[in-house]
Amino acid sequence: MRRYSFPALVLHALRGHQHWPRVLRSPDPRPVYDAVIIGGGGHGLATAYFLAKQHGMRRIAVLEKGAIGLGNSGRNTQVVRSDYYHLPSSKFFERSLQLYESLSRELNYNIMLSQRGKINLAHSPHEMEMQRRTTNAIRMNGVDAEMLSVEDLRRLEPALNFNGRYPIEGGSVQWRGGLARHDAVVWAFARAAGALGVDIVQGCEVTGFLIENGRATGVETTRGRIAAPRVCMAVAGHSSVLARKAGISLPINSMALQAMVTEPVKPMLNHLLMSAVVHVYVSQSDRGEIVLGGGADIYHSYAQRGGLPAMETIAQAAVELYPSLGRLRLMRQWAGIVDITPDTSPIMGLTPVQGLYISGGWGTGGYKAIPAGGETMAWTIANDRPHELITDFGLGRFAEGALVDEGAASGVAH
């Protein structure tokens, strides 16, 4: 992969940034592939990368109906963490965080990982007790977590409002939790997959599946028919829409999840903070903007906008925690469509159609899962059975009642 020396970068700048080599090829789709991945978000691209890198598969296509990274992978609030309660989630998300910790080196692309600590606030003695129990469980899973007293929090986040309507009693923290730059993660996987020969075909929507005797043999697209013995759906907010075209019904609710940023200010917020009681999470971007998010809008939608009521609730909650934010103007607001399952855990693995795989149901928290999602789905596709880290996340669990209920993973579950 090409690396630029400092003088070479200066030379490009003096040339007016012309004649840069293309970062990505722009191939036309071929009629046949060994594997087709639908969706050019983080999960689709990471799956293609690991298929090529770890399983030596060469004829792989990622088919994206728009442009890569313009779905949820480019719309999220960048939270990465692994402080999950149940063992299957804990093992899976911890693997993902470990991969994030070495991802810049692995992909030769700075993903701007900032492990600044992710703090859950507790607003009552009851909540402190529940966080103590959760922290214990997380530590017993082998993941870092610890309790914080109110004095710790005064030292760590002096601008917090400790004596508001919901006084702060303390909290818990995962110090390895934090943020990573979302566009960088998408482009890093895209560039690395492209360099291994993966065809990333943009502007190519999958409109149907070719299925013979219960086995996937390819896809119908807006750019023609493509044959492939392995097909994987990684389309986040449209999983149930696409799966229905293969005759599969998914237990999913699709809703808008929104986020927003204020105008930039000097550094005032040192960590990533979440409050399940006032229902908001806040961080400060490298540009100085305060990034705000909360729960999903409470109605079904495929419009990537989000409504005013959720926006107002999130802004109010942020001002409850940090009254000084009330003087800032909101600069931007946006939303993505999130597919939420009954237990808020993902759906990963095989489907009732042979050779058709799914990575979906990521709800509000699939960004942190991109590296491990890609790695385990690639293994699953290559071996036609679920990777050991995802056996609990199969579609069959809804019929069996073996749910992995992570609804309380953080209250505002990101």
73, 82, 341, 376: which one contacts ligand FAD (CB under 6 A)?
Answer: 73
Residues 150, 151, 156, 161, Cα dihedral to 10°: 50
Residue 295 is a binding residue for ligand FAD (CB under 6 A): no
Residue 118 is a binding residue for ligand FAD (CB under 6 A): no
How far apart, in Å, do the first and last CA atoms of the chain sit? 33
Q: Give dist(CA 300, CA 297) in Å, integer.
A: 8
Tokens of 96: 């993902």
Min. distance of Cβ 185 from ligand FAD in angstroms? 9
Q: Give dist(CA 197, CA 237) in Å, integer.
A: 28
Min. distance of Cβ 10 from ligand FAD in angstroms? 35
Residue 86 is a binding residue for ligand FAD (CB under 6 A): no
40, 349, 355, 411: which one contacts ligand FAD (CB under 6 A)?
Answer: 40
If residue 241 lies in a helix (H) or strand (E), which one and from where to where? helix 239-245
121, 252, 257, 292: which one contacts ligand FAD (CB under 6 A)?
Answer: 257
Rg, C-alpha atoms of the chain:
22
DSSP 390: G
Of 42, 79, 71, give the one whose Cα is nearest residue 414.
Answer: 79
Give the binding range for ligand FAD (CB under 6 A) out of 118-126, 190-198, 252-260, 309-317. Answer: 252-260
Q: Are 277 and 123 spatial neighbours (Cβ–Cβ below 8 Å)? A: yes
Of 404, 332, 409, 322, give the one whose Cα is nearest residue 364.
Answer: 409
**DSSP secondary structure of 51-110:** HHHHH----EEEEESS-TT-SGGGTS--EE----SSHHHHHHHHHHHHHHHTHHHHHTS-
Min. distance of Cβ 199 from ligand FAD in angstroms? 14
Total interface residues for ligand FAD by CB under 6 A? 42
Residue 191 or 238: the one with the smaller Cβ distance to ligand FAD is 238
Residue 66 is a binding residue for ligand FAD (CB under 6 A): yes
Residue 123 or 238: the one with the smaller Cβ distance to ligand FAD is 238
Min. distance of Cβ 162 from ligand FAD in angstroms? 25
135, 141, 174, 364: which one contacts ligand FAD (CB under 6 A)?
Answer: 364
**DSSP secondary structure of 193-217:** HHHTT-EEEES--EEEEEEETTEEE
- Which residues fall within 8 angstroms of residue 178, CB to CB, at 6 or more apart? 79, 80, 81, 113, 114, 115, 116, 117, 118, 272
75, 95, 123, 191: which one contacts ligand FAD (CB under 6 A)?
Answer: 75
Min. distance of Cβ 66 from ligand FAD in angstroms? 5
Min. distance of Cβ 411 from ligand FAD in angstroms? 14
φ and ψ of 294, to 5 deg:
-155, -140
Residue 89 is a binding residue for ligand FAD (CB under 6 A): no
* Residue 171 one-letter amino acid: G
Min. distance of Cβ 5 from ligand FAD in angstroms? 33
Residue 84 is a binding residue for ligand FAD (CB under 6 A): no
29, 33, 37, 64: which one contacts ligand FAD (CB under 6 A)?
Answer: 64
Residue 53 is a binding residue for ligand FAD (CB under 6 A): no
Residue 345 is a binding residue for ligand FAD (CB under 6 A): no
Binding positions for ligand FAD, 207-246, rule CB under 6 A = 234-238, 242
Tokens of 91: 């093992």
Min. distance of Cβ 61 from ligand FAD in angstroms? 11
Relative orientation angle of helices 87-101 and 370-383, to the nearest 10 degrees: 110
Minimal CB distance residue for ligand FAD: 41
Residue 96 or 172: the one with the smaller Cβ distance to ligand FAD is 96
- Interface with ligand FAD (CB under 6 A): 38-44, 63-66, 70-73, 75-79, 205-206, 234-238, 242, 257-259, 293, 335-336, 338, 362, 364-368, 414
